[in-house]
Every structure is written in structure tokens, then in C-alpha cells.
């Protein structure tokens, strides 16, 4: 398969490829939107997705200066959201560097392609810490090792190191970068992942290998791990059985959108290729 030079990889598309090459092909190459529900409880699933979106909009508004008490007044209709909001506010936000950027998108070149990351929050102190914060509204916190290996952790730190200099007033040393996940349904704890030059080199090699493999792929086989099909919208298309149960779903906002399709490139902070 040949990729156009302006094709943009995201953590979501790369994670799809890592999980199932066929899913990558259907979603990002054939651009199919097959309407199989991702879980059995489709209406509840949609409600949870709306809740997650609403939470992220609140955070964005708060980071951009709207007072917390004003935003909190609108949450009486949703006890879950109100609890997440409390946990967000009690999550020691003051300890984060003061220069804040909510919902910002950066891109970096890699292997002749573009690698794009859209951040919930970048909190920076030029010359000091560069913290990526990602809020999750899912009930289940993945194992630490799984979070560390996840392509979101890999892509977000790498893209910030390569493309964040204009925000940091100079190149960001990898050792200054940290990524925090906060599962607000589970409290205020941050799950933090530091970075280093050695990790950056290892991540770059992993990402490059994936991008080259996709570019050279002659076929996109179905995953042999059937558990991955339970929550995949292409299940019926692949004849891979019924939807999984919402209670088993690892809920986060990564399934919200098809990032490669929905990205607004006008919003991306450009860097020179």
C-alpha cells in the first residue's frame, strides 16, 4: 500500500493497526463506517460517550479561564459527571506548570509521513517540566504496563518532544517530559510516565517500524485475538460474532472518533518539515 505524503498517523490509527490490521484497513484506507454497535447496551454506550465528551468540554473551558463554580452549576442533572468534575478539581491542578494549553494538536514528521497528537492538556514551564495530562472517564484503569505500552503514551510524548519547541521556547529535553493519565471515575490519582532520550529512541524505532510496515503492507489480515472483535464496529462485517458487554468495555475517549477522518488540520500547530 502506498501512503500519500500528507497522510497523518495518530495514536488511534496506530493502535488500531497494532490491535488488528484489518480494522486499520477498513477504517483508514477504505474509510468504512460500518454501523455495528460496539457493545450490547448501545444506548447506554452512547450516553457514556456523550458524558465523556461533556466532561472534556468542561475541562477545556476551565483551562481556558471559565470559573469552576460557574461550570459546576450545570451538573445537577448528572451525578456521575458531577463526581468526575469534583475529582478533576481535587486532582492537584496547582502542581502543574502554569502555562496551559487545552485541546491542542501538534504534528511531527516521521518516516516521510505525519504523526499527529491531540492533547487534552499540555502544561509547560519553559526550561522546566513539560506535562501531558489525559483525562479518562472509563471505570477501568488498565494495568500500568499496558498504559506504558499503549500507543497514546508513545505517540504523545514523542510528538511533544519533536514538535513542542515553539511552546516551550526551545527544544524540550525528553527528561523534562511526563505523561499523566487521570481516571476521574476512580478518584484523583495520576498515573505518570516519565520520558528519556533512550525511551524516545526506542519509541521512534517502534513507530517507524509500524509506519514502514503499513506502507509496505500487501494485505491486512484479521486479528487472531477474537477478544479484540467484541468491541469492534466491524464485527458483523468480519463475521466475528456478537457485541461485548458494556461492563467489560475499557471505556475511554479513544473510541469516540475516527481521528484520522475527523482531524481539523487548520487547528494543528504547524512545524517545519
Interacting residue ranges for ligand SF4, rule: CB under 6 A? 20, 22-23, 26, 222-223, 228-229, 232, 234-235, 238, 240
Q: Which is nearer to ligand SF4, 98 or 218 (CB)?
A: 218
Beta strands in the chain (DSSP E): 8-10, 99-110, 113-124, 130-136, 177-183, 190-194, 268-269
CB of 154 to ligand SF4, least distance (A): 21
Counting Cβ atoms within 10 Å, is residue 219 exposed (0-12), middle (13-18) or buried (19+)? exposed
CB of 33 to ligand SF4, least distance (A): 13
The answer to whether 128 touches 97, Cβ cutoff 8 Å, is yes
- Cα dihedral angle (92, 97, 99, 104), rounded to 10 degrees? -70
The answer to whether 36 touches 237, Cβ cutoff 8 Å, is yes
CB of 225 to ligand SF4, least distance (A): 8
Q: Which is nearer to ligand SF4, 30 or 169 (CB)?
A: 30
CB of 238 to ligand SF4, least distance (A): 3
Q: Which is nearer to ligand SF4, 126 or 221 (CB)?
A: 221
Q: Which is nearer to ligand SF4, 194 or 242 (CB)?
A: 242
Q: Which is nearer to ligand SF4, 190 or 228 (CB)?
A: 228
CB of 76 to ligand SF4, least distance (A): 39
Amino acid at each position: 500500500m502506498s501512503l500519500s505524503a500528507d497522510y497523518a498517523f495518530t495514536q488511534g490509527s496506530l493502535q488500531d493497526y497494532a490491535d488488528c490490521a484489518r480494522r486499520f484497513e477498513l477504517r483508514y484506507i477504505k474509510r468504512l463506517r460500518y454501523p455495528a454497535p460496539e457493545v450490547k447496551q448501545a444506548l447506554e454506550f452512547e450516553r457514556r460517550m456523550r458524558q465523556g465528551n461533556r466532561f472534556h468540554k468542561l475541562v477545556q473551558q476551565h483551562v481556558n479561564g471559565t470559573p469552576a463554580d460557574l461550570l459546576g452549576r450545570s451538573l445537577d442533572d448528572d451525578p456521575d459527571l458531577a463526581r468526575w468534575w469534583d475529582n478533576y478539581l481535587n486532582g492537584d491542578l496547582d502542581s502543574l506548570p502554569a502555562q496551559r494549553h487545552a485541546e491542542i494538536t501538534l504534528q511531527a514528521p516521521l518516516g516521510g509521513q505525519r504523526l499527529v497528537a491531540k492533547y487534552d492538556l499540555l502544561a509547560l514551564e519553559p526550561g522546566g517540566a513539560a506535562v501531558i495530562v489525559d483525562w479518562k472517564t472509563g471505570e477501568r484503569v488498565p494495568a500500568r504496563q499496558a498504559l506504558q505500552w499503549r500507543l497514546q503514551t508513545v505517540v504523545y510524548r514523542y510528538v511533544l518532544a519533536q514538535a513542542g519547541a515553539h511552546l516551550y521556547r526551545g527544544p524540550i529535553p525528553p527528561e523534562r517530559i511526563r505523561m499523566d493519565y487521570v481516571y476521574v471515575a476512580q478518584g484523583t490519582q495520576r498515573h505518570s510516565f516519565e520520558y528519556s532520550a533512550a525511551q524516545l529512541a526506542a519509541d521512534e524505532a517502534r513507530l517507524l517500524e509500524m509506519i514502514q510496515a503499513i506502507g509496505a503492507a500487501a494485505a491486512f489480515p484479521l486479528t487472531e485475538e477474537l477478544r479484540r472483535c467484541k468491541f469492534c464496529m466491524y464485527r458483523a462485517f468480519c463475521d466475528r460474532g456478537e457485541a461485548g458487554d458494556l461492563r467489560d468495555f475499557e471505556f475511554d475517549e479513544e473510541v469516540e472518533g475516527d481521528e484520522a477522518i475527523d482531524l481539523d488540520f487548520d487547528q494543528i500547530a504547524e512545524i517545519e518539515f
